[in-house]
Amino acid sequence: MKNFPFGNAALAILVMALLSGSWLAAHPAGGHRTTLTLWVFAKEHNENYHNILPTFLAKHPGVSVDIQLVANNTLAARLQSAMVADVDVPDMCEIEITQAGTFFRGPLDDVGFLDLTDRIHRTGLWDQLVRARFAPYTKKGRIFGLPHDVHPVALAYNRVAFEELGIDPNKIETWDDFIAVGHRITKTTGANPRYLIELSDSARDQLEPLLFQRGGGFFDKDGNCIIDNDIAVKTMAWYVPLVAGPHKIGNNLGGGQVLTQAVESEYLLSLIAPDWRTRGFENDMAHMSGKMAIMPLPAVTKGGPRTSTWGGTMMGITKRCAHPELAWELAMQLYYSREKLADRYLKSNILPPKRDLWNDPAIQAPKAFWSGQRLGKIYSELAPEVPPQYASPFLELAKNKLSEAVVSCVQQYQASGDAGFEDFCRRRLKQSADEVRRQMARNPY
Amino acid sequence: MTSASLQQEEKAVVRTAERTGPGGGMFRFQQRFAPYLFVSPFLIVFAIFGLYPIVKSMALSLYATNGPKDHVFVGLSNYRFLFTDPDFGVAVRNTAVYTFWTVFLQLPLALGLAILLSQKWIRGRDWFRLAFFSPQLVGQVFVGVLFMVLYVPQYGLVNRGIHAALVSFPLDTKWLGDARMVMPALVLASLWMYVGFNMIYFLAALQAVDRELYEAAMVDGANGWQQFLAVTIPGIKPVAVYVLVMATIGSLQLFELPYTMLQQSSGPDKSGLTIVMYLFQNGFVSGDLGYASAVGWTLALGILTISLIQMRVTGAWKGVKE
């Protein structure tokens, strides 16, 4: 000891480092014994899956499942990094629809998820699920994700305020009917302004489902950017006067508590509501219980589709998964089984994409918050008409570009009104689409 | 201690010296390798977590990356694309505007506050110093969330306050939803956070200025403003240059504040898009790590150039060379 050349302090540090290193080597972390790791980003999903898990684990003694809740904003970044470094990649992962395409960059063989196409056909899921919901998770005909939802879109409205204002939702069949009502009851000035509907003048949030309702979208099934096609131009030219200019009927103030206050104070009378959003309303707007109701979206033309789609989630099994059969079985249990279905539905109001589950009594039951309406029944009737969305690694970019176009078009409309407005929309959308195409041109796949 | 034990001790020292002394092998070993051993922990950590990522990102910036595995060498093509990319242009412009306003508002305000709070006649000045510094303790994310709530249209405190004082100010003004308002909103939030922080630097610098210089200036008939220009400013110059350079670098690296306040978006019409946000979006949202690396290296070179210019212009470079 005395002869250690660098002194006792250095010797002590060295001994401690060796001892602690040996201890760590002899006691590997518990997580290494986990059979399956699943990342989810939604709190409700996390709770639901933990409820279902005991049944799965009882069927598979010795198996353990580690479900980790990761914030949606960081999940994609973490998964990207994990896949690049090939370290700490989960066995299974849920991904939000906008980000899903990012993971399909590069050649098919390099996609970090297992190709589930053959399994989906072999097990009959292809025929049992709403087929349009496979589209966002498909690349070149190969399916890499299982759809968690359908997300049909309806219109949530303040029933009491509608009645007081003499608005009969049954008489609103088309957007023209709806806009006429909006012109009658919207007040943009005064101490208590009031707007018929929540619509954004600075982002594409509500424009997106309206674009899908008209048969438009961001990409076609071959991956071409279509945000400047004729449908998009017409939709933009129709949408902007609803949020800008003298005849606007829509506005938005933000989400969360602000939205709650806006609805409770009757600043906003209706909201575009995919099924997932209704549960948020129930949680955040408790004072509105029994005063809200749901109606199908107004159609573009009489007899046209009364719904659209907004949002989505997939579950993928990563190529790093050592037990793909087990992971598949777990995914089936979590997504498409009747196990705790009532519990799952009541916690999220999300309609599963498997059609034979829609007749479940919990889904068909009336809901007090929605004035006793059978929420699940309404959404399940709309679900078959949900339009497809197509995947692209550039989906996020295209959505951002559409948002920028909304801002430009709103500014143009405020400055110049209707004169030449459709042409302006066409030019502006083409500019946005060209910027997307320019980025796409750098990706040979 | 007895003389016998002293003799024994002496002999032991001599034996050790023979073994490890200037002629001994152990001494030579220590002389030669001890410094390397002592710096090796830093060097190892730096090499793994600093040098390797730097070299790797530089190499990555020369590749087109498609997905986690597919890398194709493209030379300087990422850089060429970058300089014609309109989104990058917007990010540079936004970052420059933010940097200009924050630096040129922040530093005078911080200096003014420091001068004010160094006056002995101010009651409770320690409390005020703490109060002005405290926003720095909570971090940008907290400040972002706080200001997001303050800026809420129709119901937010900022709009309500301005409307109460100025009735014509619309209550539904969208600070974060209107492209023209986003930058002022960001600058205001950043001032609230950083003015107090930089005030502390200036307070320390002010206390270090020699009081005799003020007395000499007063004897020469200098008024308060002349004392400020002739004594205070030269006295605090090294600290002022440091604050200027650091504030500029921090502003050019802006990320958390807009990312939080604009809820992970670039804001309406990209009005809140900064260079680092653009880097993040490309690298971790779009998965194009090669392009993101090119953005990162361009930013690093930009920061280096601007910092060198600042040091040159302020005369700090001369001090470094001396």
> Token digits for A349?
């109001």
List residues of chain B with CB under 8 Å from any CB of chain A. Answer: 20, 26, 29-30, 34, 37, 64, 66-70, 72, 81, 86-87, 152-156, 172, 174, 176-179, 264-266, 268-270, 280-281, 283-289, 291
Helix, strand, or coil (residue A18): helix
Residue type at B150? L
pLDDT of residue A163: 96
**Which residue's entry shows tokens 């930009």?**
B302
Chain A stretch 217-256, residues whose beta carbon is closer than 8 A to a beta carbon of chain B: 251-254
Residues A97-107 have a mean pLDDT of 87
- Chain A residue with CA closest to B86: the answer is A435
Contact A77 B87 (CB under 8 A): no
Min Cα distance A258 → chain B (Å) is 7
**Nearest-angstrom CA–CA distance, A18 and A4:** 16
Contact A102 B287 (CB under 8 A): yes
pLDDT of residue B190: 93
**Nearest-angstrom CA–CA distance, A141 and A130:** 16
Query: Which of A192, A240, A407 is the mutation pick for testing B, counting most B CBs within 10 A?
Result: A407
Let me know: does A278 contact A156? Beta carbons within 8 Å: yes
Least confident of A135-139, B59-63, B135-139: B135-139
**Nearest-angstrom CA–CA distance, A256 and B145:** 12
pLDDT of residue A124: 95
Contact B269 A5 (CB under 8 A): no
Show the DSSP H helices in A316-374 as ranges.
324-336, 341-348, 361-364
Contact B68 A397 (CB under 8 A): no
**Nearest-angstrom CA–CA distance, A92 and A65:** 10
Q: Which residues of B touch A144 (CB under 8 A)?
A: none
Residue scoring higher pLDDT (A2 or B242): B242
Q: Which residues of B touch A442 (CB under 8 A)?
A: 64, 81, 291
Task: Identify which of A206, A219, A207 has the alpha carbon closest to the alpha carbon of residue A436.
Answer: A219
Reported as a single tens digit per residue, the pLDDT across B220-246 is 988 888 999 999 999 999 899 999 999
Residue scoring higher pLDDT (B318 or A351): A351
**Nearest-angstrom CA–CA distance, B259 and B16:** 63
Helix, strand, or coil (residue A367): strand
Let me know: does B135 contact B143? Beta carbons within 8 Å: yes
- Tell me which DSSP letter residue A4 carries: -
Least confident of A211-220, A307-316, A435-444: A435-444
pLDDT of residue B110: 95
Task: Identify which of A333, A320, A383, A427 has the alpha carbon closest to the alpha carbon of residue A150.
Answer: A383
Min Cα distance A251 → chain B (Å) is 10
**Which residue's entry shows tokens 């509105």?**
A288
Reported as a pLDDT band with limits 50, 70 and 90, residue B16 is low
- Chain B residue with CA closest to A72: the answer is B264
Q: Using N-to-C axis directions, what is the helix angle for B86-116 and B179-208, rounded to 10°?
A: 40
- Chain A residue with CA closest to B155: the answer is A258
| DSSP H or E stretch at residue B291 | helix B289-314
Residues B255-263 have a mean pLDDT of 91
Helix, strand, or coil (residue B309): helix
User: Spelled out in words, what is the top-level CATH class assigned to the domain A36-151+310-376?
Assistant: alpha beta
> Token digits for A99?
């980000």
Reported as a pLDDT band with limits 50, 70 and 90, residue B68 is low
Phi-psi region of B218 (alpha: psi -120 to 50; beta: other; left: phi over 0): alpha
**Nearest-angstrom CA–CA distance, A432 and A389:** 19
Min Cα distance B116 → chain A (Å) is 39
Reported as a pLDDT band with limits 50, 70 and 90, residue A235 is very high
Phi-psi region of A217 (alpha: psi -120 to 50; beta: other; left: phi over 0): left
Reported as a single tens digit per residue, the pLDDT across B141-196 is 999 999 999 999 988 999 999 999 998 888 889 999 888 999 999 999 999 999 99
Min Cα distance B139 → chain A (Å) is 18
**Which residue's entry shows tokens 């506005």?**
A251
- Chain A residue with CA closest to B278: the answer is A397
Residues A308-335 have a mean pLDDT of 95
Let me know: does A102 contact A90? Beta carbons within 8 Å: no
Reported as a single tens digit per residue, the pLDDT across A237-284 is 999 999 999 999 999 988 888 999 999 999 999 999 999 999 999 999
Mean pLDDT of chain A: 92
Reported as a single tens digit per residue, the pLDDT across A346-373 is 889 999 999 999 999 999 999 999 999 9
Task: Identify which of A295, A285, A289 has the alpha carbon closest to the alpha carbon of residue A264.
Answer: A285
Contact A107 B86 (CB under 8 A): no
Taking the CA of residue B126 as centre, how many other CA atoms within 13 Å lie in the half-sphere pointing to its CB? 0
**Which residue's entry shows tokens 């498409």?**
A336
| Beta-strand relationship, A250-251 and A197-198 | parallel
pLDDT of residue A85: 82
Reported as a pLDDT band with limits 50, 70 and 90, residue A32 is very low
Q: Which residues of B touch A407 (CB under 8 A)?
A: 179, 268-269
**Which residue's entry shows tokens 């390798």?**
B33
Percent of chain A at pLDDT > 90 equals 74
* pLDDT for residue A27 is more than 50: yes
* pLDDT for residue B23 is more than 70: no
Reported as a single tens digit per residue, the pLDDT across A36-51 is 999 999 988 999 899 9
Task: Identify which of B286, B321, B279 has the alpha carbon closest to the alpha carbon of residue B300.
Answer: B279
Q: Which residues of A touch B66 (CB under 8 A)?
A: 105-107, 110, 443-445
Positions of E strands within A98-167: 138-139, 142-143, 146-147, 153-158
* pLDDT for residue A31 is more than 60: no
Task: Name residue A152's beta-bridge partners.
Answer: A309
**Which residue's entry shows tokens 């946005």?**
A432
Task: Identify which of A276, A270, A296, A258 has the alpha carbon closest to the alpha carbon of residue A381.
Answer: A296
The DSSP result for A24-79, as a single string, is HHHS--GGGG-SEEEEE--HHHHHHHHHHHHHHHHHSTT--EEEEE--HHHHHHHH
**Nearest-angstrom CA–CA distance, A427 and A228:** 8
- Tell me which DSSP letter residue A134 carries: G
Let me know: does B202 contact B247? Beta carbons within 8 Å: no
Task: Identify which of A235, A249, A251, A203 has the alpha carbon closest to the alpha carbon of residue A425.
Answer: A235
User: Spelled out in words, what is the top-level CATH class assigned to the domain A154-309+388-441?
Assistant: alpha beta
Q: Which residues of B touch A258 (CB under 8 A)?
A: 152-156
**Nearest-angstrom CA–CA distance, A207 and B298:** 36
Task: Identify which of A114, A109, A42, A108 has the alpha carbon closest to the alpha carbon of residue A75.
Answer: A42
**Nearest-angstrom CA–CA distance, B183 and B207:** 35
Residues A111-133 have a mean pLDDT of 95
Reported as a single tens digit per residue, the pLDDT across A371-394 is 999 999 999 999 999 999 998 888
**Nearest-angstrom CA–CA distance, A423 and A223:** 26
* pLDDT for residue B10 is more than 70: no
Mean pLDDT of chain B: 87
Contact B154 A403 (CB under 8 A): no
Could you tell me how many residues make up chain A? 445
Show the DSSP H helices in B117-232 as ranges.
125-133, 135-150, 157-165, 179-208, 211-219, 224-227
Positions of E strands within A218-350: 250-251, 270-274, 292-296, 313-317
* pLDDT for residue A444 is more than 80: no
* A262–chain B Cβ distance below 8 A for any pair: yes
Percent of chain B at pLDDT > 70 equals 90
**Which residue's entry shows tokens 């630096």?**
B103
Contacts of B194 (CB under 8 A, 6+ apart): B102, B106, B110, B136, B247, B250
Min Cα distance B258 → chain A (Å) is 14
Task: Name residue A194's beta-bridge partners.
Answer: A187
- What sign does the CA torsion over A137, A142, A146, A150 have? positive
Which residues belong to CATH 3.40.190.10 in chain A? 36-151+310-376, 154-309+388-441
* A408–chain B Cβ distance below 8 A for any pair: yes
pLDDT of residue B4: 63
B271 Cα distance to chain centroid = 22
* A112–chain B Cβ distance below 8 A for any pair: yes
From B29, B155, B287, residue closest to A393, measured CB to CB: B287
* pLDDT for residue B26 is more than 80: no
From A6, A76, A404, residue closest to B285, measured CB to CB: A76
Residue scoring higher pLDDT (B122 or A166): A166
pLDDT of residue B67: 67
pLDDT of residue A363: 93
Q: Which residues of B touch A102 (CB under 8 A)?
A: 285-287
